[in-house]
Amino acid sequence: MTLASILFDLSSHPEYLDILRKEISEVAEELGPMGEAGPETLQRQWLSKLEKMDSFIAESLRMNHPVLLPQGWLWKTFSSRTEPTSPKNTWISFPSVNIMMDPEFYPNPEVFDGLRNWQKRQGLDDAANKHLATQATPSQLSFGFGNRACPGRFFSVSGLKMVLTKILLEYDIKRAGTKDPYRKMVQFSFISMDAELLMRKVS
């Protein structure tokens, strides 16, 4: 479902197609084609250099979070000086979408900016570990937060990058019509079964 969301976002914002293809070409020129870079370490380095693609994935996850209201049980009693005590086994939830659409954390949050995270990384001394799609922070909750953050997020994002690289190099993408492809049901957001995406093999 995440891959489908990213592809629909690419079709809605085609100006990013050439940007991402150029980045792929630059990495391939430096390290060789994807899958031919050599040892596993170099393969990871190959994917890590797709910084603009990483940013696009992060923005797509932010704008189209599949779980609107994450929920769970408290596994132990929670108490603080400023909040009422919540006993063990209390059912709780938090508004992840509202947080990721908060202008305090994301200027112009309603605007899709595929390079939002990439721009934040520019000029940072420790940019290699900042503003990544895999990060779980209080304002970036696509994969949860804290010790309960999704442990498979690194594998997931790496897989998305590999598939997107293949698709971008071999296919053109276009929306079929202007109908909103997303549907919301209770606390979930998903791609409608009626949504259509056009893909054409690049000659």
| Each residue's pLDDT tens digit, 9-54 | 999 999 999 999 999 999 999 988 887 767 766 788 899 999 999 9
The domain that contains 132 carries what CATH number?
1.10.630.10
> Structural domain of residue 172, as residue ranges?
2-67+96-201
Binding residues for heme: 150
Structural domain contains residue 76 = no
Tell me, yes or no, whether 63 lies in a domain: yes
pTM of the predicted model, to two decimals?
0.86
| The pair of three-digit structure tokens given for residue 171, joined into one six-digit string | 């296919």
State the binding site.
Answer: 150
Structure confidence by residue, pLDDT tens digits, 44-72: 889 999 999 999 999 999 988 777 676 77
Residue 129: inside a domain, yes or no? yes
In a domain, 142, yes or no: yes
The total of structural domains in the chain comes to 1
- The per-residue pLDDT for range 79-126, each reduced to its tens digit, is 877 878 888 888 877 788 888 889 999 999 999 999 999 999 887 777
